[in-house]
Amino acid sequence: MKKISHSAVHRLILYRKLLKIQLHTGDDYIYSHNLAQLAGRTPAQVRRDLMYVAYSGSTVRGYHIAELVKSISMFIDSPTGQGVALVGLGNLGKAILNYTVGLNPKVEVRAVFDKDPVKIGTITEGITCFDVHDLEKIIDEKNINVAIISIPSEGAQTIADRLIAAGVIGILNYSSIRLNVPENIYVENRDMMRALEKTAFLGRYFNNQVIF
Amino acid sequence: MKKISHSAVHRLILYRKLLKIQLHTGDDYIYSHNLAQLAGRTPAQVRRDLMYVAYSGSTVRGYHIAELVKSISMFIDSPTGQGVALVGLGNLGKAILNYTVGLNPKVEVRAVFDKDPVKIGTITEGITCFDVHDLEKIIDEKNINVAIISIPSEGAQTIADRLIAAGVIGILNYSSIRLNVPENIYVENRDMMRALEKTAFLGRYFNNQVIF
DNA sequence: TAGATTGTTAATCGATTAACAATC
DNA sequence: TAGATTGTTAATCGATTAACAATC
């Protein structure tokens, strides 16, 4: 199996997103330098990234947008699709549902979990909220192997352990602790405070306000 | 001025966070291999990263935790502190406030903006919500140079233009469009769907379920 | 054909890793 | 001192960039 860097995966997903938007603008084809500009990359970088997916552009017309989207999807998405569980239906959980539900049928949120009796049984963005007590059962029933953690730090590790034991292989972690997981489990951490501090520093850095 | 990579900045912020937690465990000193384990890095990588900040460890005791935190902060934080504006007080905006307010006095959310009259004038996590119409005035008054965008895609570019014109140099963008900004402005994009798709792919990749 | 673009190879750059002298 | 750790230099690795032949 060939290797691919995390950042290349991230970029391919970005290209697909940008291409989907281009689909609605009328043009059938796009050149690497147009896509590069949209993505904030160089044309050569884009062409190199695209060589991961089995699709060749035309030297005259560039890339057929719809075909390229299809090729990227064949590369990135699971052929059978993947189910996603969201744990924690607070403000963040609701926002995540709002930003993700319905966008990619191959990466589909199939269940929400919470421990609050008021929330259990409600439906948000079309997804039912289950009792976190039934986590293992529902994950098995709904064939879920990806999870999003949007609960406070205290319970996060316990939930992660249960998710992994139930068959989850990828975790998007919005809690502010770092999870301890086996090495075959992928964890993507999204720490909001860390992102804010990074933005504050790099803003000054870009404006030459940092001296060291 | 020396150069530093975005990822090194991101790691230094992580180290500081992990060290702050260690502060409460009783030990005064920590070795690079302990910090490395917490951060998921190698000891040599940690030592190399730490050489950006002007602080030397002891060859016998390792790094004095409190001193190292101070040195990282002197490196990362602005001496005068930076004000932050949050634009959009929906579920996501409320979650962001919840995850960031009060954690770092040098990166301080000083104002929230929304266009909803019901929200304007309310106080969340101690921060007043202002009319987005008064954006420029408040940003100037409260000496803000960092902003978080947590509004739907449609209005995001217009808001970004106004923020930049008002003096913002760093933007943490949670909307799902890419912002067009001058090259001296730093934008950190946080696309939830992209993060989810990446997690789904890399989960399978880590488990050798991806063939290409 | 001429010209613009693509895919691929070679050169460069930077980050990571390994090795080691210096320190207490 | 012996031993463990640090800071720094050298070697390796990988990604980015530049160059260019192939294509229509």
Query: Is the CB of residue A57 inside 7 Å of nucleic acid strand C?
Result: yes
The predicted model gives B71-83 an average pLDDT of 95
Evaluate whether A43 touches A13 at the Cβ level (below 8 Å): no
pTM, full prediction: 0.95
Query: How far: A19 CA to C3 C1' (Å)?
Result: 26
CA of A59 to C1' of C2 (A): 14
Our CA-based measurement puts residue A199 at a distance from the nearest CA of chain B, in whole angstroms, of: 6
| Confidence check: pLDDT of B59 > 90 | no
Q: Which nucleotides of C are covered by protein (CB under 7 A)?
A: 3-9, 14-19, 22-24
Q: A181: nearest CA in chain B?
A: B40
Nucleotides of D under 7 A from a protein CB: 3-9, 14-19, 22-24
A51 to chain B, minimum CA–CA distance in Å? Answer: 12
Banded pLDDT at B26 (limits 50, 70, 90):
confident
The predicted model gives B86-104 an average pLDDT of 98
Strands A127-131 and A107-114, sheet pairing: parallel
SS3 category, B187: strand
- Give the pLDDT of chain A (212 residues) as one tens digit per residue: 568 888 889 999 999 999 999 998 888 999 999 999 999 888 988 998 998 888 888 888 999 999 999 999 999 999 999 999 999 999 999 999 999 999 999 999 999 999 999 999 999 999 999 999 999 999 999 999 999 999 999 999 999 999 999 999 999 999 999 999 998 899 999 999 999 999 999 999 999 888 77
What is the residue whose two structure tokens read 């490196």? B75
CB contact under 8 A, A9 and B198: yes
Please state whether A42 falls in left (phi above 0), alpha (psi between -120 and 50) or beta.
beta
Residue B3's pLDDT band, with cuts at 50, 70 and 90, is confident
User: What is the mean pLDDT of the segment spanning B13-30?
Assistant: 92
The residue ranges of DSSP E strands in chain A, in sequence order, are: 29-30, 63-64, 82-87, 107-114, 123-124, 127-131, 144-149, 170-173, 186-189
CB contact under 8 A, A192 and B82: no
Alpha carbon separation from A109 to A77, A196, B212 (Å, rounded): 14, 27, 26
pLDDT given at position A208: 87
Residues of B in contact with A104 (CB under 8 A): 193, 197
pLDDT in tens, B144-174: 999 999 999 999 999 999 999 999 999 999 9
pLDDT at residue A211 in the model: 76
Measured from the CB, is B43 under 7 Å from any atom of strand D? Answer: yes
Nucleotide nearest to A63 (CA to C1'): C6
**pLDDT, position A56:** 86
- Residue A5, CB, strand D, below 7 Å: yes
- Report CB contact under 8 Å: B197, A146: no
Q: pLDDT (tens digit, 9 = 90+) per residue, B114-143? A: 999 999 999 999 999 999 999 999 999 999
Q: Are A124 and A109 in contact (CB under 8 A)?
A: no
Query: Residue B141 half-sphere exposure, CB side, CA atoms within 13 Å?
Result: 8
pLDDT for the residue B7: 87
pLDDT of the residue at A202: 93
Which of B91-100, B181-190, B200-209 has the highest average model confidence (pLDDT)? B91-100
